[in-house]
Structure 1
């Protein structure tokens, strides 16, 4: 069985130069789960769409979530099980007023945290990582790790995904 690489979108539709779109366009095996909807962020339909994609195949999956997509993964893991091998959660936003699950996720999880993210401090990203039982990768001063901060291609992210697909150390 091959490992599916499923991109879980954030709140809005990422710019076409965003690393997630680059990966879908350039690499086989990468797909959206679900297709990126526009704002506002509503967890229920996104969790249902993610479940539908995961349930469509028994092949293992690595979830690659950006921003609010990280929250979608946490909500999904609270309600469902499935063939998820690991998750790469990139710059999760800190949303103090949302009841986001704060339990360890039942699969290997890596949180990529930025030192200059306008949506969460590094310490808040570390708080998510502790709650979710995740490893933390310090991405440095990369803003929200999006196209606005210069991230079209993101080779380090691709290396992290491949390590998670192979069950290797980071």
Structure 2
């Protein structure tokens, strides 16, 4: 059985954010860590993700938004575990982030007009991480403020990652 771990960004997603809706709609989706407000402390987030990943030997699909993508990259540099794949949605520009290939399949979703990270930056991260790039078009930060609630296209990406390689 596959586990699904939601890796939040630096803030608490609004109730209508797609990640919150997915957590409510799917019993098997768990936060890693539970969303909390700023400041974003990478070491704390990575440690919480490690705790969640290490809690079971069942394979996990990580579903990260914004700074959560950075958490996943830092986790992969420091730890290993039963992670099968990751959906990495709109990684932001900011502090230096590991650029080596991730040791699991990944899809990196990049927006053409994300105020937190350019398309070129996201495309380069996808290449560096060895992930498949998904051009989401002009969708802002792919969050509540840019009009994204349930995001069914994202659910399809998760289903692809959860299926056979």
TM-score > 0.5 by shorter chain: yes
2:110 to 113, 135, 141: 113
Q: How many angstroms apart in 2 are the aligned matches of 1:39 and 1:161?
A: 27
Per-residue CA deviation, residues 53-83 of structure 1 (Å, 9 max, x unaligned), is 1111100000000000000000000000000
Tell me what 1:138 maps to.
135
Runs of 4+ residues over 4 Å off in structure 1: none
Q: What displacement does 1:99 show?
A: 2.7
Tell me what 1:63 maps to.
62
Point out where structure 2 has 5 or more consecutive residues left out of the alignment: none
Q: How many angstroms apart in 1 are the aligned matches of 2:97 and 2:118?
A: 17
Point out where structure 1 has 5 or more consecutive residues left out of the alignment: none
Q: How large is the RMSD of aligned CA atoms in angstroms?
A: 0.8
1:157 to 114, 138, 154: 154
Per-residue CA deviation, residues 40-63 of structure 1 (Å, 9 max, x unaligned), is 111000000000011111000000
Per-residue CA deviation, residues 96-151 of structure 1 (Å, 9 max, x unaligned), is xx231110000001100001100111111001111111110011110000000111
Matched, 1:76 2:75: yes
Q: What displacement does 1:21 show?
A: 0.3
Tell me what 1:129 maps to.
126
Deviates more, 1:140-149 or 1:27-36: 27-36
Q: Secondary structure at the match of 1:12?
A: coil
Q: What displacement does 1:36 show?
A: 0.6
Q: Secondary structure at the match of 2:38?
A: coil
Aligned length: 165
TM-score by length of 1: 0.95
Tell me what 1:3 maps to.
2
